[in-house]
Structure 1
Amino acid sequence: MTTDRISRQDARRNAIIQAARACFRDKGLHGTSMADIAREAQLGPGQIYRCFQNKDAIVEAIIKVIISARVEHMLAVNHDLVRKADEFTRSLAGIAAFDSRDDALLLEISAEATRNPRIAQLVVEADLNLFEQGCAMLKARYPHLDTIQVNALSEVMAVLTEGTLLRRHVRPHRPIDAQCLQSNYLAILHTLFPDTQSNNTRKKD
């Protein structure tokens, strides 16, 4: 297979993925057909099936794209607690680091997972991927923590992150003091991740 042909196939797959994301946001996973995706992508149904066996395969590709972007972002933040607190605050204020449409799409995928065992498996695998990446980062940053502590901290961070994203979509649009909110987030993060190594160094000095 030539490089040009591979590039065309990759471009077509990406076009299908983007079309499916748009359809899933508008109609939901359950209400979207392969024909809908083909129309949105301006491709024939046969071209869709040559790239993806079924709709679940497209959902799997979408999950991988979103999770990959979030892992890259997690690595970029690199345990900057001030930046993380700011992102939590901005998310609730409607100015998120991630595309809010992807937040809604992930909620839609999670809802579909309650009805579709294959989607449920994909969601579990994606969550495990993020969890393992988070644990690896924490272990590198805090090598003195044992596995039990690292796992617990990763779960708490998942609750903070996913809870914040959910609140963004369901809470009433009432005024909220961003500075106060950020201070509270930062206090929580500093409690979870005290720089014990720096503290020990200062004590020795």
Structure 2
Amino acid sequence: MARVSQEHLDARRRQILDGAALCFARNGFHATSMQDVLKEVGLSAGAVYRYFRGKEELIGAIVGEVLERIQGTFEAAVDETPPPPPDVLIGRALTQVLSSRTDEGDGEVPYFPRLMLQVWAETMRNDELATVMRDGYTRVRAAWVKIVEGYQAAGMMRADIPADHVARAMIGAAQGFAAQLALFDEVPVEALQDGLRGLMSMGKPQ
């Protein structure tokens, strides 16, 4: 029997995760069955269950991957002296996670914001997923804290404000923007970046 290469296994896993993410974003976690996922990816049940035992494992793997990509973006910025400003960093992270798109009738739209809302709702009842989210958030926040400390060390930001507080605010800005995309209308990431630049430019009244 021919041995299956690791490259083939990785590509198959990627195919399953991408198809499942589309299904969850389109119809919601509970309205999506494993049969829906099988149909989306065009694979047999045996092929899919070789990698994932069910929907819970699929959603956990999807969330874990996204959080790792975001964490990697911010951790790489820590090594820059000084770190790029918040508008640049958040733009990088959002552009990366919004790069996956799906056709929804009147044009292609990013599916990640919809998936994000589904995941948030699911964490209210799924303890394992809540743990994945909590651990990922903690790592992302820790990376942001280091970035803020870099701003403060370079004299780019007030040093009397706790770095953790700034980190939470920046994460909230990115999460809030993604929620707007999911609930209202699609706007470019540049809109958030412009908004952040406007806030960053504020000074005392003349």
Question: Relative to structure 1, is the Cα distance of residues 82 and 35 closer, same or farther in structure 2, using a 3 angstrom cutoff?
Answer: closer
Q: Which residue of 2 aligns with 1:118?
A: 128
The structural deviation recorded for 1:109 is 0.7
After TM superposition, list the pairs within 5 Å mapping 1:59-78 onto structure 2: 59-74=59-74, 75=76, 78=83
The alignment status of 1:83 with 2:99, answered yes or no, reads no
Per-residue deviation, residues 38-65 of structure 1 (Å, max 9, x unmatched):
2211111112111112221111211122
Question: Relative to structure 1, is the Cα distance of residues 151 and 3 closer, same or farther in structure 2, using a 3 angstrom cutoff?
Answer: farther
Q: Secondary structure at the match of 2:5?
A: helix
Q: Distance in 2 between matches of 1:97 and 1:71?
A: 12
Bigger-Rg structure (1/2): 1
Q: Which residue of 2 aligns with 1:203?
A: none
After TM superposition, list the pairs within 5 Å mapping 1:15-94 onto structure 2: 15-74=15-74, 75=76, 78-81=83-86, 83=88, 87=91
> Which of 158, 164, 176 is 1:163 aligned to?
176
Matched-pair identity in %: 20
Question: Relative to structure 1, is the Cα distance of residues 16 and 149 closer, same or farther in structure 2, using a 3 angstrom cutoff?
Answer: same
Q: Which residue of 2 aligns with 1:131?
A: 141
The alignment status of 1:107 with 2:112, answered yes or no, reads no
Question: Relative to structure 1, is the Cα distance of residues 43 and 172 closer, same or farther in structure 2, using a 3 angstrom cutoff?
Answer: closer
Give unmatched runs, 5+ long, in structure 1: 192-205
More helix by share: 1
The structural deviation recorded for 1:15 is 0.8
Question: Relative to structure 1, is the Cα distance of residues 147 and 118 closer, same or farther in structure 2, using a 3 angstrom cutoff?
Answer: farther
Q: Tell me the TM-score normalized by structure 1.
A: 0.70
Q: Secondary structure at the match of 1:31?
A: coil
Aligned partner of 1:48: which letter? V
In angstroms, what is the RMSD of aligned CA positions?
3.5
Q: Secondary structure at the match of 2:162?
A: helix
Q: Distance in 2 between matches of 1:7 and 1:114?
A: 36
The structural deviation recorded for 1:190 is 5.2
The alignment status of 1:186 with 2:197, answered yes or no, reads yes
Q: Which residue of 1 aligns with 2:13?
A: 13
Assess if the C-alpha contact under 8 Å between 2:145 and 2:163 holds in 1: yes
Per-residue deviation, residues 62-97 of structure 1 (Å, max 9, x unmatched):
112222332344446942345368x49xx8xxxx66
Per-residue deviation, residues 141-200 of structure 1 (Å, max 9, x unmatched):
434888981111111111222122223333478xxxx69x93x52243356xxxxxxxxx
Q: Which residue of 2 aligns with 1:196?
A: none
Assess if the C-alpha contact under 8 Å between 1:66 and 1:102 holds in 2: no
Per-residue deviation, residues 96-124 of structure 1 (Å, max 9, x unmatched):
66423112111111111112222222221
Assess if the C-alpha contact under 8 Å between 1:38 and 1:48 holds in 2: yes
Assess if the C-alpha contact under 8 Å between 1:138 and 1:150 holds in 2: yes
Aligned partner of 1:189: which letter? M
